[in-house]
Structure 1
Amino acid sequence: MNSKSKWLIYTVLVGLIPMFSRFLIWVVTTPGTVNIISSSDFIAFGLILHISNINEIEHFDSKDRDWKTRHNGFSIVFIAIYTVLFSLTMLSEGVSSINTSYIERCAIALSMVSFLLSFIVFDRITKLSSKEVA
């Protein structure tokens, strides 16, 4: 099994567990009880992707240290942003002046960007790994 397949199964599908769980709960509960979309699910997904990126990049033996440093830096910045969004999500439970729909849209957009960045990282690792084996 190549790195992309493992990434898809171990990282992406595991990262989507909160969304799958929420959907299942939404299906079996009374309408209006549970929201089908939650910013916290997308935040968790993004965090899992970036933590996985950092782990893979640190354990990948590459001579391109600039690339490794750059992508680890991107992941750290995204983790910091997700942390702020998650804090705002928790704070919004008691503060009515926080626009939760804006947080939700930001979390969804950021998780899409995170998915793309994570795919790029694992695509490069897969290609470099296959060159080393050949």
Structure 2
Amino acid sequence: MGNRKIKWLIYTVLVGLIPILSRLIVWAVTKEGSVNLLSPSDFVAFGLVLHISNINEIEHFSGIEREWKTAQNGISIAFIAFYSVLFALTLIGDGIVDVAAITICTIILSLVSFLISYSVYDRISKIISLESGGAV
């Protein structure tokens, strides 16, 4: 795994996971039933971190063809919009919205976001490796 992917894992993925990991720790040390194990807002935060990072990385890297950059930025913007809607639904509350359904949606969406983000950083790492003459 390249240096760029390790930095992505540490600076993007682990930072994005802070709300989820914090909730797990709080859940583990509090009385049963006082804190939910999973919260959709934590997964929304994770997805937003991933897609904002994608946009930033793609915009500041010149070695990628323009069409791919445009497509990836569009995908990230669409996901940010989806996350915004899901986050707004979490603010409405438990009485009107099925929180369990939103939680499942945000978990699935964040897993897809992780895979998209990994593919972005993998492609950039391969391009950098080829430009520098190294092996992938």
Under TM normalisation by the shorter chain, which class is it?
over 0.9
Give the deviation of 1:115 after TM superposition.
0.2
Give the deviation of 1:110 after TM superposition.
0.2
Q: Distance in 2 between matches of 1:129 and 1:113?
A: 24
Q: Any gaps of 5 or more consecutive residues in structure 1?
A: none
Q: Distance in 2 between matches of 1:63 and 1:123?
A: 12
Question: Residues 10 and 17 from structure 1, CA distance in 2 versus in 1: closer, same or farther, beyond 3 angstroms?
Answer: same
TM-score by length of 2: 0.94
Residues 25-72 of structure 1, C-alpha deviations (whole Å, 9 max, x = no match): 111111100011111111100000000000000001124100000000
Other-structure match for 2:40 = 39
Pairs aligned (count): 132
Q: Secondary structure at the match of 1:123?
A: helix
Q: Distance in 2 between matches of 1:88 and 1:53?
A: 25
Give the deviation of 1:9 after TM superposition.
0.4
Question: Residues 130 and 99 from structure 1, CA distance in 2 versus in 1: closer, same or farther, beyond 3 angstroms?
Answer: same
Percent pairwise identity: 58
Q: Secondary structure at the match of 1:61?
A: coil
Other-structure match for 1:125 = 124
**Residue type at the aligned position of 1:6:** K
Q: Secondary structure at the match of 2:62?
A: coil
Give the deviation of 1:109 after TM superposition.
0.5
Q: Distance in 2 between matches of 1:91 and 1:58?
A: 34
**Residue type at the aligned position of 1:55:** N
**Residue type at the aligned position of 2:127:** L
Q: Distance in 1 between matches of 2:131 and 2:49?
A: 27
Give the deviation of 1:17 after TM superposition.
0.4
Q: Any gaps of 5 or more consecutive residues in structure 2?
A: none
Q: Distance in 2 between matches of 1:38 and 1:47?
A: 15
Residues 82-93 of structure 1 mapped to structure 2, 5 A cutoff: 82-92=83-93
Q: Secondary structure at the match of 2:14?
A: helix
Other-structure match for 1:3 = 4
Q: Distance in 2 between matches of 1:5 and 1:77?
A: 26
